[in-house]
Amino acid sequence: MSEKLENYFKTHSVLFFVLNLVLIFVLLKLFQVTAYPDANFSEALTPGNIKFILFGMEGELGGLMLTFTIAIIAIIFSFIFGSFLGIARYSDIKVLKIPATMYIELFRALPLIMVIFWVYFAIPIVGGAIFETKISVPALTSAIISFTLFQSAYIAEIIRAGLNSIPKGQFEAAKTLGMNPWQTFTLIILPQAYRRMIPAIVSQFVSLFKDTSLVYIIGVIEFFRAATIVNNRIYMSFEILSFVAIVYFMCAFTLSKIAGYLEKKVEKQINT
Amino acid sequence: MGYEFDWSVLLTYKQLLIDGFIMTLKLSIIGIFFAFIIGSIMGLARVSKNFFISLFATYYVEFFRNIPLIVQMFFIYFSFTLTDIFPWLETFGNSLGLENHNEFFSALLALITYTSTYIAEALRSGIQSLPKGQDEAAKTLGMNYFQTIRLIIFPQAIKLAWGPITSQFINLIKNSSLAMTIGVAELTFQTQEIDSITFRGFEAATAVTLLYLFLTLATSAIMTLVDKYGLIKTSSTKGGVR
């Protein structure tokens, strides 16, 4: 019976998708009714509250929009910085390779919260000690800096893996064509490596998107912080946090599905 | 305005650091234990031939993987009182020597649900990269479904997935630092504590960073040793996986 059903769903994927949505809604509702019968969503999620959680205060960037902004800016910076790190680790030049390896290993061993604390609290102290002045970094800037530092270590590893996956024959073929090492790298190797890395970088973006919720601790009013602000005012944590969880889920799930789709596409391109 | 380092605060407040380290260890070890078990079950369920079991596992994995850990922690902590729902947690917590049961178990539950999904995914890709012949060969030998899973599929898949699983264990240790947001006194929390008492956050953060480095390096060393000499060497993996 289950096999028949599976085949039916495979051929009717739209129906399956809709059924899934309905089922998820029913499950969530069941969970709410059993676990938290006196939840009052209409009181907690007024249009004003939702607007604040999604878009922040009037006239300034906040809420979910700020979350996306932070994530996009940080992924661009960490892509650039991570490319340098990954290439440095991939190269045979010891002066580049050893510091890059140390950087990557250090940042991959640290919790993101510690990185955020380091940037937010230690930069003013160290900077103050070096430049003999008072330095203060706005919370938003230090959030972006810490995400960049943290994520570039992971992106560097993705880039190194991408570079390693290029067959050695490519180098030799480029040499045969009379290209110098620089041309080989920029015209032959990097474009191919980047194409293979796109899915992994999209999934890294998903994890960065989820990690942005951590800037809660230094007081940037992004999605999660905005939700907790509303929660502190009306104290209906079940309703507010369910809403937050569902919105995070929808965004991250869509993005990870895009990553999966790209992965299939890239695989097809490479295999043909 | 220079900053004068004063490393003696670490000695003065070493008890805080030790307490935090032990709390992180408790969270990590219990978390890794249960995340591994649940993750294995979910990983096997995802590749199950039964459509409904695999659908359920897919729901579980996709749901808990796509919600940030801090949101899960807050949701559990602020919406429920776990120790009221499960009174036996009180005794379990007492045997661990805890003070704030509710905070600890909320953080632990969120860590387990979050990490187990990643472990399930790692195990699933391990299982799927096994050749189909393994299944069929086991069937030919007259093994039933559970024997095939227990003796043939699981040992080989776990060997293949050992690297990703190790990095998920390390992620769990690192993510346990989020427990500070709901007031569990682990390592990162103690950094803040020392910072607020002495205003010497820099020294405290350095010490805690080194402790985290030690924890993650030790974990990956242990996992490598287990992989090399230990537990999961089965007759089928001795001569290479395939």
Q: Tell me if B3 is assigned to some domain.
A: no
Q: In this complex, is the C-beta atom of B199 within 8 Å of any C-beta atom belonging to chain A?
A: no
CATH code for position B40: 1.10.3720.10
Binned at pLDDT 50, 70 and 90, residue A91 comes out as confident
The residues pairing with A222 across neighbouring beta strands, listed in sequence order, are A63
What are the Cα distances from residue A188, in Å, to A119, A164, A172, A176, A178?
A: 37, 14, 11, 13, 13
Interface probe with B: pick from A32, A41, A53, A113, most Cβ of B within 10 Å: A113
Query: Domain span at residue B220?
Result: 8-238
B180 assigned to some structural domain: yes
Residue B1 domain-assigned (yes or no):
no
Nearest CA in chain B to A38: B79
pLDDT tens digit string along A158-174? 999 989 888 888 888 88
In this prediction, residue A136 carries a pLDDT of 76
Take residue A121 and report the two structure tokens written for it: 């609290």
In percent, the amount of chain A with pLDDT more than 70 equals: 99
Q: How far is B194 from chain A (nearest CA, A)?
A: 13
The pLDDT, as a whole number, for residue B242 is 42
Phi, psi of B215 (to 5 degrees): -60, -50
Mutate to test the interface with B, among A16, A213, A238, A251 (most CBs of B within 10 A): A213
Percent over 90 (pLDDT), chain A? 31
B9 vs A129, A264, B3, B196, B203, CA distance in Å? Answer: 19, 54, 15, 12, 8
A134 vs B contacts (CB less than 8 Å): 1
The C-alpha atoms of residue B175 and residue B140 are separated, in whole angstroms, by 45
Q: What is the mean pLDDT of residues A188-212?
A: 89
pLDDT of residue B27: 93
Which pLDDT belongs to residue B238? Answer: 45
> CATH number of the domain at A43-271, please?
1.10.3720.10
Other C-beta atoms lying within 10 Å of the C-beta of residue A103: 18
Least-confidence region, from A51-55, A201-205, A267-271, B105-109: A267-271
pLDDT, tens only, B105-133: 999 999 999 999 999 999 999 998 888 88
For the cut 90, the answer to whether the pLDDT of residue A146 exceeds it is: yes
Q: ipTM beyond 0.85? A: yes
Question: In this structure, is residue B179 part of a structural domain?
Answer: yes
What whole-number distance in Å separates Cα of residue B98 and Cα of residue B92? 9
pLDDT at A45: 83
> CB contact, 8 Å: B51 with chain A?
yes
Whether B2 is in a domain gets the answer no
Q: Which residue of A lies nearest to B190 if distances are taken between CA atoms?
A: A114
Given a cut of 50, the residues of chain B with pLDDT beneath it are 1, 235-242
Q: Closest to B62 (Cβ–Cβ): which among A5, A245, A253?
A: A253
Say yes or no: B221 contacts chain A, CB-CB below 8 A.
Answer: no
